[in-house]
Structure 1
Amino acid sequence: MNSVNLWEMGKVETIEEFYRKKFDWIPDNLRKEIGHFNVFKLDPFVGDKAQPVPYKRRDYFKIMLVIGNSEVHFADQVVEVKNQALTFSNPEIPYKWEHLDKIRSGVFCIFNPHFFHKYGNLQEYSVFQPGGTHIFELTDEQVDQVNTMYQRMFQEINSDYIHKYDVLRTLVFELIHFAMKMQPSAKFDKQPINASKRISTLFLELLERQFPIDDNHQSVKLRSAADFANQLNIHVNHLNRAVKDTTGKTTTQIIAERILQEAKILLKHSAWSVSEIAYALGFTEVTHFNNFFKKHAQLSPLKFRSV
């Protein structure tokens, strides 16, 4: 593959690069065992001073309260922030922001995965999952509530309290649960996890682990239900039943939907040729990829790219 194109799509912005770009300095404790956390006002980075936020992954988490109109590209989706919103981004999902000049103010916190080492798995929460909701439009009252949490963060991080990072983790969890409570209760599975659910979850995790496509994942290896069954050491019929029982979709359908989603991302946000994208997604022939894309998207890859 073209190495320049791989660099453009695959390069992950590190937390060090975030500090260099925004402040031209790097905190001394950035990679210490305690992990890293910080909180900022958005005001210096919006309006006339707004810098472009390119489409890529970051190696850190970010939770942001944004006041004003803007657009966020998550995977192959574009979500408009109409007035004010609470947003969640994580190292697994690439994103970019547009129309930053229309953002009036806001506040955000960033932290790396090690900050929550032994304190819970953030990927268990839907706000940080690939299929979850990442943007929550807020009322004025909800903005006040969220602002209060961020003000507590500013007070805590500037304090001398020896356990202040424990308090900051608690405040991050407060933001997560504040957002998740806004979602319809039907989204939450209250039933005990059974064997089919476990198998289905393992399958979905294995599928998602192949994405996004970058220089570390140059070609999708697991393409069929049989491939996943072999990897999970179960019979393919067992896998198919479990996935159908828990999702209502076939294994093949879910695989196709995820490959289609990644194809759309690469067509819209990379300079790769159609043949390069076909190869990256595990197609041995570009004609097979073209036929697959037309079948599921009702457009050819080149037509989709130009729309």
Structure 2
Amino acid sequence: MQDLYTLTDFYGKLNLPFPEGLGKDIGHFNVFNIAEYRTRLNNGEMRYDRRSYYKISLIKGRNKAEYADKEIQIEDRALLFASPRIPYHYVPQDEDQSGYFCVFTENFLSKDKSGMVLDSLPLFQPGGLPIFTINTSEFTEVEHLFKKIERELSSDYVYKFDLIRAYVLELLHLGQKLHPVQPLEINRNASTRITDLFVELLERQFPINTPSQQLVLRTANDFAERLAVHANHLNKVLKETTGLTTTSIIHARIFEEAKVMLKRTDWTISEISFGLGFEDPAHFSNFFKKLANTSPLKFRKGIEI
């Protein structure tokens, strides 16, 4: 599992080659029409994860955005801002989807002379609600901006990226003047949602298929950071919903995978240790003995206590 969902992953999911020359010297930028590309992105659904890029989406259609501790329903038209700091899960609720979205890296806007720091904006603060409902006239205004961006991107104008940057800044300022959508009062409460997302992140790392693959999320802090919640809060939630601590759940899952790898692969203990994220085989052996009351080697040979 990778630490972040990267631009390379994004283009791969669209079955598009990575456009190496697209703003290469000034940071990456690109724009997409939702109606054209949504079927390539699992009908628009995006898994819960952090991304290595920023994204601004103009959306028309019924959709749902799930954050670790809140869920937001989009009934018609909305403007959504996403940053690498805040993971979310985006799920279309009907087939009638249209609009635009653009993706860009932080250094794309760093060339702007205004001195704007993206992560200092309220739009991109953890705990905020970066989704805004807009009316028909506001939708038309933003759609016009996206169309100008799309037109400039395909032009031969020497300073087109300077102009596009100005349009993106206009989108950011527009978003900051809007009122965010409020989270839903729903039956599935925040604790259940956090638990579900924790399990999703944990299970997505398995199985370990090659000796070069390695777990990225191994500690309570790792998962809390990915979920954008405090480690103590995550532990409290999991105790409420499962009766177990964050660490005990993680360790139990790693232990189960270790047993599978010992029995079903011919990898060395060192290779298994590396794949499961241990610093050295001795740490793995101590971990395994504590839970299995036998060493990894004896377990592999069927000598169990």
TM-score, normalised to structure 2, is 0.59
Tell me the amino acid that sits aligned with residue 271 of structure 1. Answer: E
- Residue 297 and residue 24 in structure 1: after superposition, are their counterparts in 2 closer, same or farther (change >3 A)? same
Q: How does 1:206-245 map to 2 (within 5 A)?
A: none
Aligned with 2:50 (options 57, 60, 80) = 57
User: In the TM superposition, what is the alpha-carbon distance from 1:33 to its structure 2 partner?
Assistant: 2.5
Contact preservation (8 Å) 1:60, 1:111: yes
Q: How does 1:1-307 map to 2 (within 5 A)?
A: 11-29=3-21, 32-46=24-38, 50=43, 52-99=45-92, 101-119=94-112, 120-183=116-179, 265-267=197-199, 269-271=201-203, 277=220, 293=236, 300=243
Q: Tell me the SS of whatever aligns to 1:46.
A: helix
Q: How many residues align?
A: 213
C-alpha distance in 2, partners of 1:61/1:70? Answer: 19
Give deviations 1:110-166, integer Å, cap 9, x for gaps: 111121224331112111121322100111111111111111111211222211111
Tell me the amino acid that sits aligned with residue 49 of structure 2. Answer: K
Of residues 30-39 and 13-22 in structure 1, the stretch that sits farther from structure 2 once superposed is: 30-39
Q: Tell me the SS of whatever aligns to 1:172.
A: helix
Question: Which residue number corresponds to residue 187 of structure 2?
Answer: none
C-alpha distance in 1, partners of 2:158/2:9? Answer: 28
User: In the TM superposition, what is the alpha-carbon distance from 1:280 to its structure 2 partner?
Assistant: 6.0
- Residue 72 and residue 269 in structure 1: after superposition, are their counterparts in 2 closer, same or farther (change >3 A)? farther
Tell me the amino acid that sits aligned with residue 37 of structure 1. Answer: F
User: In the TM superposition, what is the alpha-carbon distance from 1:271 to its structure 2 partner?
Assistant: 3.5
User: In the TM superposition, what is the alpha-carbon distance from 1:104 to its structure 2 partner?
Assistant: 1.9
C-alpha distance in 2, partners of 1:47/1:31? Answer: 26
Work out which of the two has the higher radius of gyration on C-alpha atoms and give 1 or 2: 2
Q: Tell me the SS of whatever aligns to 1:40.
A: strand
Contact preservation (8 Å) 2:81, 2:131: yes
Question: Which residue number corresponds to residue 201 of structure 1?
Answer: none
C-alpha distance in 2, partners of 1:95/1:72? Answer: 7
List alignment gaps of at least 5 residues for structure 1. Answer: 1-8, 185-260, 283-287, 303-307
Tell me the amino acid that sits aligned with residue 73 of structure 1. Answer: E
Q: Tell me the SS of whatever aligns to 1:96.
A: strand
- Residue 85 and residue 280 in structure 1: after superposition, are their counterparts in 2 closer, same or farther (change >3 A)? closer
Tell me the amino acid that sits aligned with residue 35 of structure 2. Answer: D
C-alpha distance in 1, partners of 2:238/2:87? Answer: 26
C-alpha distance in 2, partners of 1:301/1:103? Answer: 42
User: In the TM superposition, what is the alpha-carbon distance from 1:301 to its structure 2 partner?
Assistant: 6.0
Q: Tell me the SS of whatever aligns to 2:72.
A: strand
- % identical aligned pairs: 29
Aligned-pair RMSD on alpha carbons?
3.7
C-alpha distance in 2, partners of 1:276/1:19? Answer: 30
Contact preservation (8 Å) 1:294, 1:301: no
TM-score, normalised to structure 1, is 0.59
- Residue 180 and residue 281 in structure 1: after superposition, are their counterparts in 2 closer, same or farther (change >3 A)? closer
List alignment gaps of at least 5 residues for structure 2. Answer: 181-192, 205-217, 226-230, 246-305
C-alpha distance in 1, partners of 2:71/2:151? Answer: 35
C-alpha distance in 2, partners of 1:97/1:140? Answer: 22
C-alpha distance in 2, partners of 1:167/1:150? Answer: 12
Give deviations 1:57-104, integer Å, cap 9, x for gaps: 111111001110011112332111111110011111111211364342
